[in-house]
Amino acid sequence: MSRAEGSEPLIQTRRLTKRYDTLTAVDHLDLEVRPGEIFGLLGQNGAGKTTTILMLLGLTEPSSGSALVAGLDPTRHPREVKRRVGYLPDAVGFYGGLTGRQNLRYTARLNGLTGAEAESAMAAVLDQVGLTDRADDRVETYSRGMKQRLGIADALVKAPDILILDEPTTSIDPLGVVEILELLRTLVQERHLAILLSSHLLTQVQSVCDRIGIFAAGRMVGEGTMARLASLFGDGSAAIEVDIEGTDAAEIKRAEAVLRGLPHVTDVVAPTGRSTTWHIAVRPATEETSVRSAILAAAVGNDLRLTSLRPLVPSLDDIYRTALHRRGLADRAIAGGKTAA
Amino acid sequence: MSAETPAVRRTRQPKPAPKPAPASAPLPAEVETDATPRLPAGWRIIASKEFSDHILSVRFFVLLLVLGLAAAIPLYFAADQIRSVAPQASGSRAVFLALFWFGSPDISILTVATFVAIVAPLLGLAFAFDAVNGERSEGTLPRLLSQPIYRDDVINGKFAAGLAVIGLVLVAVVLLISGFGMLRLGIVPHGEEVIRLAAWVLATFLYVALWLSFGLLLSVAVRRAATSALIGFGIWLVFTIFGPLIVTLVQGFVTPGGNATADQVLGAVQVREFISRLLPSQLYADISNVLLRPDFGLKNLSTPGTIGQYQQSQQQIPGINSLDQSLLLVWPQVVVLVALTVACFAAAYALFMRQEVRA
């Protein structure tokens, strides 16, 4: 078991490419996912996420380049790879006439698990996804979110080293999403899995992933932790939120003048209504720490009753748009309707 | 069953795959790396799951009912007829088999064999038309293929399960008919009749297997189950009901005028025979008649290919074929049925292996 070593990547691709007749679905992709890590593959529909996943599972052959999953080439050893990878497909389906448990039992048997071994594995994963009570109901009576959770149980029943989840949170209500993301976190901690998840929902990826790869038109346009992506693709500005006591007009005017007077502050948005939160924009982003110190000093000097001060992490939405824009891919990737900022 | 059809490149691991351990067997010696526990033969697991799905499905009961009725109605007439002619027929070589081809004296198609010939294709289609596209539309195919199995395990397993179910249904129906015959007529089949009956069941099984593999092909080629069902049943209708009409139609076109030479007449006959030999329903009807009726004349078969054979068959004195003669007579038809089945399955297999996993 390579589990204990920790540092060897469980998923590794080198210049992985998939071409269809005219379309290049995946273009020279380099990707690494290590055990104990959640990697988020972020991209619009049609960006090549699912194609990448299918290549990792050996269900589609790459046109060029290579992939190693659990140390094996999925094209040449598909069964061994699939034995060690749990996969939750996009829009997962189950046999509606069978119960949740029967569906899992089928998967367990296909993975060589039978008898008591299989039953205990099934009970464990059903408990983990919170479906124990409904396990013996037919799947056709399940809600979308329950099916999704059953899908995760189905991917886990083979005790995989790697979990690949394709759009695990689509069409689930917000509460369900939180549950699923928490479950993934727990799994990584408990089982030290490597998780690769794809999504087009930025905020969810942001909240659960250790590292993120931004994927557009088959290419990885940016990859790394949130902080790294922010420094790479931030628009060069940073933001700070400040809470200052006092909501009457005179006080607000005075505070605004003080804050606007600080160096590197490009904009100040005063609170409205009963809120006390100020929004301060800083440019360049590298001056963000010095501006924070300056705000503290100014608050002391001008008798502003500061109650809190915090830097704002740039949201993935902004990073995503900038990343696409900078690579000149925005037009291609964002088809119709939405426009890049 | 061709579990290992070599049509498409496969990537077997160099070591022989560990044989599927029976459920009770202890852990076999591990030949794989420690990370990969024993992997069972995927097609068997898929087949056993599909089989139990079929057995419990509504369509299984409906088909059993339809086939049972299709057999029961002509059986009722046949039994009456046989009872009335039995005294003269004593000493005949196959009184028991008459149950299957005897009918009402007024309605010629009202025999068990004819009804089975009409209904049997439905049996094959019903268990295959949604085999693959059903999994696609339910979204279970990607999940199934991401399990440690080979891709052809899916189609092999489904075909095997279909064969098992139709075998079960056919044997059950024939046993029911035989039981009824023994009870009502008091006739017990003798040795040769049992063999003929078994051969007939086998031939029927083959015929249904052809429709099963055709249904499987449709389920791979057509995206929607409803469409593949419609196409399947449409073609069934064309072959079963309109098949003889097609032959007649073609015959009308190719029949030479009154002053034709012998060669021209023969040519026309050969064209007609060729067409009818392409019709699976005609092939099965030939097999069925020859196997069930030892006295069935050669001239009614669609086999003669030369003018000599044709003349011979015209002049044949009515007689009784022995078992080996009957088997010899139906051999070409059996071969064609097998060939058609293999062709359909191979097409379905190749198509499935090349298809994208994504819907």
- The residue among A339, A15, A116 whose CA lies nearest residue B24 is A116
Closest-CA distance of chain A to residue B22, Å: 10
- In this complex, is the C-beta atom of B252 within 8 Å of any C-beta atom belonging to chain A? no
Judging contacts by C-beta atoms under 8 Å, the chain A residues touching residue B19 are none
Contact A77 B149 (CB under 8 A): no
Which of B143, B125, B126, B147 minimizes the C-alpha distance to B135?
B143
Torsion angle of alpha carbons A65, A68, A69, A74, nearest 10°?
60
Q: How confident is the model at residue A316 (pLDDT cuts 50, 70, 90)?
A: low
Residue B28: per-residue pLDDT: 41
DSSP string across A43-95: E-TTSSHHHHHHHHTTSS--SEEEEEETTB-TTT-HHHHHHHEEEE-TT----
Cβ contact B33–A80 (<8 Å): yes
Dist. CA A319–CA A340, nearest whole Å: 11
Question: How much is the pLDDT for A315?
Answer: 66
Give the residue-averaged pLDDT of A146-162.
92
Does the beta carbon of B37 lie under 8 angstroms from any beta carbon of chain A? yes
pLDDT at A336 over 90: no
- The residues that bridge with A41 in the sheet, in sequence order, are A198, A213
pLDDT of residue B106: 64
How far is Cα B18 from Cα B1, in angstroms, rounded to an integer?
20
Q: Residue A189 has which token pair?
A: 């901690």
* Neighbouring-strand partners of residue A18: A26
- pLDDT of B307: 60
**Could you tell me which residues are beta bridge partners of residue A223?**
A213
Under DSSP, is residue B313 helix (H, G, I), strand (E, B) or coil?
A: helix
Q: Give B206→chain A minimum CA distance, Å.
A: 30
pLDDT at position A165, please? 93
pLDDT confidence tier of residue A261, bands split at 50, 70 and 90: confident
Angle between helices A226-233 and A316-326 (to 10 degrees): 50
pLDDT at res. B313: 64
Q: Are the beta carbons of A110 and B148 separated by less than 8 Å?
A: yes
359 residues of chain B, pLDDT tens digit each = 444 444 444 444 444 444 444 444 444 443 444 444 567 788 999 999 999 999 999 989 888 888 888 778 888 777 777 777 666 655 555 667 777 777 666 666 667 888 888 888 988 999 999 999 999 998 899 999 999 999 999 999 999 999 999 999 989 888 888 888 788 777 778 788 888 889 999 999 999 999 999 999 999 999 999 999 999 999 998 888 787 787 778 777 777 777 777 777 777 777 777 777 778 888 888 888 888 877 766 555 655 556 666 666 666 666 667 777 788 888 888 999 999 999 999 999 999 998 888 75
Please choose, from the candidates A198, A206, A194, A168, the residue with its C-alpha nearest in 3D space to the C-alpha of residue A29.
Answer: A198
Is B52 in CB contact (< 8 Å) with chain A? no
- Are B45 and A97 in contact (CB < 8 Å)? no
Instruction: Dump pLDDT digits (tens) for A219-242.
Output: 888 888 877 777 777 666 778 888
Please give, rounded to a whole number of angstroms, the shortest distance from the CA of A231 to a CA of chain B: 37
A1/B35 Cβ within 8 A: yes
Of A94-98, A149-153, A169-173, A174-178, the range with the lowest mean pLDDT is A169-173
B140 touches chain A (CB under 8 A): yes
Q: Is the Cα dihedral B256, B262, B268, B269 positive or negative?
A: positive
Inter-chain touch B356–A60, beta carbons under 8 Å: yes
Closest residue, chain A, to B144 (C-alpha): A107
For B35, the closest of A60, A84, A94 (CB atoms) is: A84
Please tell me the predicted confidence (pLDDT) of residue B319. Answer: 65
Distance CA(B137)–CA(B121), nearest Å, equals 25
The residue of B33, B135, B146, B158 whose CB has the most chain A CBs within 10 angstroms, and thus the best one to mutate to test that interface, is B146
Measured distance CA(B109)–CA(B65) in Å, rounded: 20
pLDDT at B272: 76
Q: Looking at residue B77, what is its pLDDT?
A: 77
pLDDT of residue B47: 94
Confidence (pLDDT) at B226: 93
Q: Which of A80, A91, A158 sits opposite B139 (nearest CB)?
A: A91
pLDDT given for residue B38 in this prediction: 64
- Tell me whether A60 touches chain B (CB under 8 Å): yes
Residues of A in contact with B157 (CB under 8 A): none
Is the pLDDT reported for residue A52 higher than 70? Answer: yes
Q: Of the segments A2-11, A149-158, A332-341, B288-297, which one has the largest average pLDDT value?
A: A149-158
Can you give the pLDDT at residue B34? Answer: 43
Structure tokens at A164: 């690949």
Instruction: Verify whether the Cβ–Cβ distance A95 to B138 is below 8 Å.
Output: yes
Query: pLDDT value at position B308?
Result: 65
Q: Report the mean per-residue pLDDT for chain A.
A: 84
* Joined tokens for residue A334: 């964002």
Q: Pull the structure tokens for residue A204.
A: 């969810």
Q: Decide if A84 touches B, using CB distance below 8 A.
A: yes
A283 at interface of B, judged by CB pairs closer than 8 A: no
Contact B146 A76 (CB under 8 A): no
C-alpha count within 13 angstroms, C-beta hemisphere, residue B137:
13
Q: What is the pLDDT of residues A102-127, one digit of tens each?
A: 999 999 999 998 889 999 999 999 99
- Interface A-B, measured as beta-carbon pairs within 8 A, has a size of 98
Which position has the higher pLDDT, A255 or B229?
Answer: B229
Residue A112 touches partner B, C-beta closer than 8 Å? yes
pLDDT of residue B6: 43
For B136, nearest residue in chain A (alpha carbons)? A93
Q: Does A91 touch chain B (CB under 8 A)?
A: yes
Query: Phi and psi (nearest 5°) for A279?
Result: -120, 120
Extract the tokens encoding A320.
């995503």
d(CA A191, CA A159): 9
What is the model's pTM? 0.79
* Of A123, A93, A96, A97, the residue nearest A108 (C-alpha): A123
> What does the pLDDT read at residue A74?
92
